[in-house]
Structure formats: C-alpha cells, structure tokens
Chain A
Amino acid sequence: MRTIDQTTQEILDLATKHFNVPVGTLAPDDDFFKKLGIDSLQTLELLSRIENHFNIELPDYEVQGVSDFRTLASRIQSRL
C-alpha cells in the first residue's frame, strides 16, 4: 500500500512526463491550471493517464473543483 506522499510524488512524476516540463518544476501545492497553463480538457487527459497508472476509475465529479496535486492525490488515495 502506497503512502499519500508516495501517491503524490507519482502523480507529480506523471504530470511532469505528460506535460513535458523539467523534473522538479511541480510541487504538491501547485495549482495545475495556473502552473501548467492548461485547460480542463487537458486535465482530463492527465486523469486518464493517472487512472491507468494506479489502475483505478475516478469519476469526473470526484475531480470537479480540484486544482492542486495534493488534493488530487488524496482523492486517488481514497480509491486505492
């Protein structure tokens, strides 16, 4: 079983790869819309990648209103 810190780090790694930003750019409390300059559609693409990685299903409503990696990680953690 992963710890929340591990889950958060794995999400940051996935986002780093997905959006092709330098390693170490992203931090848990970053607002991903602002930091990455992405729109909600691009966030959905990242979520698909996260689902495949953790082998879970995350309903769209679970991520409604979530904009930082830490909160996203806690939503995922609760489904692991």
Chain B
Amino acid sequence: MLDLSKYQSIGAALKDALDQFANQTCLIESDREREKERLTYRDFKNRAEPLAKMLQDANFRAADRGAIIMTNQSKWLISAYAILFCGGILVPLDYKLTPDEQWQLLAHSGARVLITEYPIWRQLAGSHGRSSATSLAHIYVTEAPASADLGGAQRWEDALSNVAPPVFGPRARKEVATIVYSSGTGGRPKGCMMTHENYLEQCVALTSLYPFAPGFRYLSILPTNHAIDFMVGFFGPFICGATVVHLRTLRPEFVREAFPKYKITYVSLVPLVLKNLQKGLQARFDALSPGKRKIFNGLVALNKALTKSQPRLGLSHLLLKQVHSGFGGELRAIIVGGAFTEPQTLQFFYDLGIPVANGYGLTEAGTAITVNDLRPFRADTVGKPLPGMEVRIVDPSPDGIGEISVRSKTVMSGYLNEPELTAETIVDGWLKTGDLGRFDPAGHLQLFGRKKNMIVTEEGKNIYPEDIEAVFESLPVKEFCVFAANYIWPQRTMVGEQLVLVIHVEPGQTVTEDLRQNISALNSRLLNYKRIHGIVLFEEDFPRTASLKIKRNILAEQLAQRDRAGAIQSL
C-alpha cells in the first residue's frame, strides 16, 4: 500500500499506484459468462492518459468540474482518473436517476465536461433538461455505434489516438476533489464538496481494518458514484494494487457465478440485497435432509463458538466448506452500507463464518464513521469509530441517547452553493448527523432512529418528504405537507420508517371518502418506497415564514403534542 501521508491529492496517489503496480491486474470486466477485458495497471494508465490529454486539449483545467454518468465498468474508473489527473473536480452522478434529474444535477454542479455511455446519452439527449446545463462545454460518449448521431457529443474512444502526454494537475489536500450528491433530487440538491484530504484520511482508516493487497479482488456492484464503492471499489484497491471486478449484467445468477469464478475477496451490498442473499441460503439449508441438516446445524454452532471473540476465516472455511466454496472460498468480508442492517441478518452471516463489515456513515462524513472491527463481532451495534474520528453524543437523554455528532478530517468542506445549509450542518467543526445514537460501555455505537425529516429505505435510498409533495399538488385542501412520522414522533428504531401526509382542509370542508380516494390515487403514482402511509389532520393554519414557506420544524413540534397512534389515520 502507498504511504498516503505523503500525498496531497488522490490524483497524485493514483498516478504513483499505476506505476508501482504496473504489472498487477487492475480491472476485470465481465458480461454474463464472457470475460470482456482484463487490464493491468499499465494498461489502465495507457488508456487514461490519452483521455486526460483529450480533456486538456478541450481546455479542461484544474478545478474545472467533470461529471460521469455510467454504469459500473472499467471506463468509469479510467474516466475518473483522467479528470483527477488534470486536477479537475469529479462529479459522480447516479446513472439510475431520470434524465431530467441528471440534467438538474449537471446544471447545479456547474460541470464543464460530461462523460457517459451511449445508451444513457441517448436518453439524456432527448430530454428537455439539456438547456439548463449551460456550463457544459464537452460531452464524451463511450461505446457509441459507428452510425450513431451523437447530438454534439464526441466519441470517448477517439482519445486513444492521442500520443502526446498530458500534464499532471497538482492539487492541495484542502482543495475540493469531488462533488457528491448525497440525496435525492428534489428542489434542493445537496452536493457534498469532498476534499482530497477527506479521501486520503478515510482510506488510511478503512484499510487499517479491512486491508487490500495485490491479488485481492473486489466485486463492484453498488454504483461507483456511491461513496462506498468509490472508496472500496476504486481508490482503496488501487492504492494497494488490488483488482476490481465489474459485471456488465447485474442479474442475480451472474452475480452468484462471479464469486467462485473470480475468487472474490470483498463485495459491498445494500441491506436489501444482503437480506435476499440470506433468504436464498436459508432456503437451501431448509431443503437439506433431516440428517444432513442436523450435521450442518452442528457445524454452524461449532463455528459460532470458535469465532466468538474474533473471526477465524481459515477455520470457518474448513468447517463450512460447502457454503464458502459457493462464495469462491476467499471471501474475507461482505461490506454492507447505505442503510441500516438488521442484527439478525448480520448474525446469520457471521455464524456461517462470513463477516459482514457493517458500519455507520454518511456522505457528508466521508463514507464511514464507525465500522464493526469484528473483535468481537457485535451484530447489535454499528461498531466503533474509525481511527481519526471523534464521535460524541449531543444532549443525551438519561438513557444516554442523543444526536450523533462527528469531527474528523474526513468531514466534507460543505454543500455546494449552500452556505446556510452548511452552517446549520457543520457547527464549530462538528458535523450534526441528525441520527440518534448511544455508546455502550465497550465503546460500540448503537443507532436509535433519526431526528431529521427523512427516511432511508433498505435499498439505501434517502427520501426527503419535501421532494415528494409535488405529487399531491392537485389535492383540493387548503394546505398540506409531508413528514417522516419519526421526525414528528421520534421512535427509537431504525426500521419500519413511514411517511405521513398532514392536511389542513378548507373551512367547512370535511374529509370525505372521495378525498381519501383522491389521496390514494395520487399516492399510487409514487414509487412503492416513496408512498405515504397515512394522513394526519391539522385544524389550524400551518406556521409560515415571511416568504410563506412552511416552518416545518414548528409544525412538527405542534403535531408532536398529539398521540402518534391517534393522529395517524391509515390510508
């Protein structure tokens, strides 16, 4: 592993890694059962530098912003490195957003350059949002068919004909390296400005617990624009000379095959996928004959007893060979993140000898704040603070539960173009997370719900109630507002979060069956995970600011006076 304390920027560290590990396998790309590509670090450099040169020839300079919208594949990382090599600020955007949402974030980020895939570009080019991204000067599209009309974009592959070397763009630790959108796409995009120092420090902390080395293979499934995959599926493995495996087809059967085929060392998943994996395994165990099942359960119990104080991977692999060979036999840990994972699921895997590196983090804090150090494994907590993280509980109640606050070199420099929001979120150097937690006597953090007006789904999607209000605009009532129920009535739980619609009807109006049906019909337009669960009637005018915006915190306080169960009417 490179000594990251010597580096000023992630671009500089990656540049050295490409030389130091030149002969190691850097990337493997597979599509179904076919392996499409295998690149060494030298190959990677030979593709990325011509692209950097093409960007520089197009006048892309240090501190200019370059966005990427791509599925997980080798060209994502090659493009990201080219942008960072130039000293540019990387803007990784979610390929799963709608084209309009993507244009909105492209405009918000002020990106000068966009690098994307042809199928995504086809959708983007046909969207009305294009006119909003006025700063966008150059678009590079990968894998476009020869006859395709690129609508003003250029071919990414044309870069490969560049022979002149690009000029490296040095950056300083405190300068912005990336702008990462932590959440949805409602009226107020939140672009976290992450510095080079944020990444360098986080990488040192994470690799101290979960190290990479040449020969280790990371399977990249979470989108690479996500903070976790960017760290453990790009920067972390690269500065250690490890290999990243990309699958162009993320069907469950191909993902399953990839584990034994590439002898995967680490993978990151969201809790929902981990739970599905658990269900699949459980079904297989349940199908065993009574005799075999008894032996199997005995082996699991033995493994559990022998790994109580710490994981013993070799021993677990020996005891539960069948299970481990399905995962390729070299899996060291499954990294899970993006949302809260239920302890029962974590324990299931640990008892099989597959440690799950669960933790707690948010983009604003540079990915992870706490991680389970597995010594011992504690399914009921999210682990201890990573090295370099100061974590405190603010205004704890008598039982020790309060808001989690973090101070660290990994905390973002702020939200792009949102100085007020930044000042509300980072106070005297401490990042207010809006999450409720408590430390147990052994120093492990336990989570107890949220005090912020948002919910997180098992797929790791952050949902801000404000962002879904537009759907109810036609509702014939005086005023309405959507809240996370746990924001109004804090519940000490991380599961089963719900949204409620608060309505104030016109004078003389009553809540009729027609109105309820109207609400249900509008609700059904929302994706499943964004739907409201119930309605709350409010009899007075909503408190508003001078500019007539709803004072949500005051309204929530007024609603909180009521009994939760009595106030929420199910739909």
User: Which residues of A does B touch, CB under 8 Å?
Assistant: 33-34, 37-41, 44-45, 47-48, 57, 59-62, 64-65
CB-based nearest B residue for A44:
B251
Nearest-neighbor residue (CB-CB) of A42 within chain B = B276
Contact A44 B123 (CB under 8 A): no
A45–B251 contact, CB under 8 A? yes
Which residues of chain B come closer than 8 Å to A57, judged between CB atoms? 32
| B424 CB-CB contact with A under 8 Å | no
Contact of A65 with B123 at beta-carbon distance under 8 Å, contacts A34-B524, A34-B527, A41-B273 already known: yes
Q: Is there a chain A Cβ closer than 8 Å to B474's Cβ?
A: no
Chain A residues closer than 8 Å to B528, beta-carbon distance: 33-34, 37-39
Q: Given that A34-B527, A60-B71 are known contacts, is A44 also in contact with B119, CB under 8 Å in the complex?
A: no
CA A44 to CA B119, docked complex, whole Å: 18
The residue on A at minimum CB distance from B117 is A61
Chain A residues positioned under 8 Å from B253 (CB to CB)? 48
- Whether A59 contacts B252 by the Cβ 8 Å rule is no
Given A33-B528, A39-B459, A41-B273, output 11 extra A-B contacts at Cβ < 8 Å: A34-B528, A38-B528, A39-B528, A48-B251, A48-B252, A60-B250, A61-B117, A61-B119, A64-B96, A64-B123, A65-B98
Please count the residue pairs between chain A and chain B whose beta carbons lie under 8 angstroms apart in the complex: 47
The answer to whether A60 touches B527 (Cβ under 8 A) is no
CB-CB nearest 10 A-B residue pairs: A61-B119, A48-B251, A44-B251, A37-B528, A60-B249, A45-B252, A33-B527, A60-B250, A48-B253, A33-B528
Complex interface: chain A residues within 8 A of B98 (CB): 65
Summarize A's interface: helix, strand, loop or mixed: helix
B313: interface (CB < 8 Å): no
Q: How far is the CA of A7 from the CA of B364 in the complex (A)?
A: 47
User: Is B120 on the interface with A (CB-CB < 8 A)?
Assistant: yes
- A59–B71 CA distance with the chains assembled, in angstroms: 12
Contacts of A64 in B (CB 8 A): 95-96, 119-120, 123
Residue ranges of B at the interface with A (Cβ–Cβ < 8 Å): 32, 71, 95-96, 98, 117, 119-120, 123, 248-253, 272-273, 276, 459, 524, 527-529
Whole-angstrom distance between the alpha carbons of A38 and B272 in the complex?
12
Which chain B positions have C-beta within 8 A of A45?
Answer: 251-252
Greatest chain A CB density within 10 A among B71, B119, B249, B252 is at B249
Residues of A within 8 A of B96 (CB): 40, 64
A61 touches B71 (CB 8 A): yes
Question: How far apart sit A61 and B73, CA to CA, in the bound complex (Å)?
Answer: 13
B120 closest partner in A (C-beta): A61
Across the interface, which residues of B come within 8 angstroms of A62, CB to CB? 119
Which residues on B sit within 8 Å (CB–CB) of A60?
71, 248-251
CA distance A64 to B248 in the complex (A): 13
In the complex, what residues of A have CB within 8 A of residue B248's CB? Answer: 59-60
Q: Which of A37, A62, A64 has the most CB of B within 10 A?
A: A64
Contacts of B252 in A (CB 8 A): 41, 44-45, 48
Q: Which residues of A contact B529 (CB under 8 A)?
A: 39
Report whether A47 and B524 are in contact in the complex, using a CB–CB cutoff of 8 Å: no
Which residues of A sit under 8 angstroms from B459, Cβ to Cβ?
Answer: 39-40
- Once the chains are docked, how many angstroms separate the CA of A40 from the CA of B221? 13
- CB pair A41–B272 under 8 Å, yes or no, is yes
Nearest-neighbour CB distance to chain A for B114, whole angstroms, equals 17
Residues of B within 8 A of A47 (CB): 251
In the bound complex, residues from chain B placing their C-beta under 8 Å from that of A65 are 98, 123
- Check A44/B272 contact, CB under 8 A, given A62-B119, A64-B96: no
Q: How far is the CB of A76 from chain B (nearest CB, A)?
A: 15
Could you list 27 A-B pairs, sorted by A, with CB under 8 Å?
Answer: A33-B528, A34-B524, A34-B528, A38-B528, A39-B272, A39-B459, A40-B96, A41-B252, A41-B273, A41-B276, A44-B250, A44-B252, A45-B251, A45-B252, A48-B251, A48-B252, A57-B32, A59-B119, A59-B248, A59-B249, A60-B71, A60-B249, A60-B251, A61-B71, A61-B117, A64-B96, A64-B123
Nearest opposing residue in chain B for A38, CB measure: B528
- What is the chain A residue whose CB lies nearest that of B524? A34
List B contacts of A37 (CB < 8 A): 528
Most-contacted residue by chain B among A34, A37, A39, A57 (CB, 10 A): A39
- How far does the Cβ of B380 sit from chain A's closest Cβ, in whole Å? 26
Residues of chain A within 8 A (CB-CB) of B71 are 60-61
Q: How many angstroms between the C-alpha atoms of A53 and B248 in the bound complex?
A: 21
User: Shortest beta-carbon distance, A10 to chain B, in Å?
Assistant: 19
CB of A18, distance to nearest CB on chain B (Å): 13
B386 CB, nearest partner CB in chain A, Å: 29
Q: Distance in Å from the Cβ of B406 to the closest Cβ of chain A?
A: 31
What residues of chain A lie closer than 8 Å to B276, measured between beta carbons? 41
Q: Separation in Å of the A39 CB from the closest CB of chain B?
A: 6
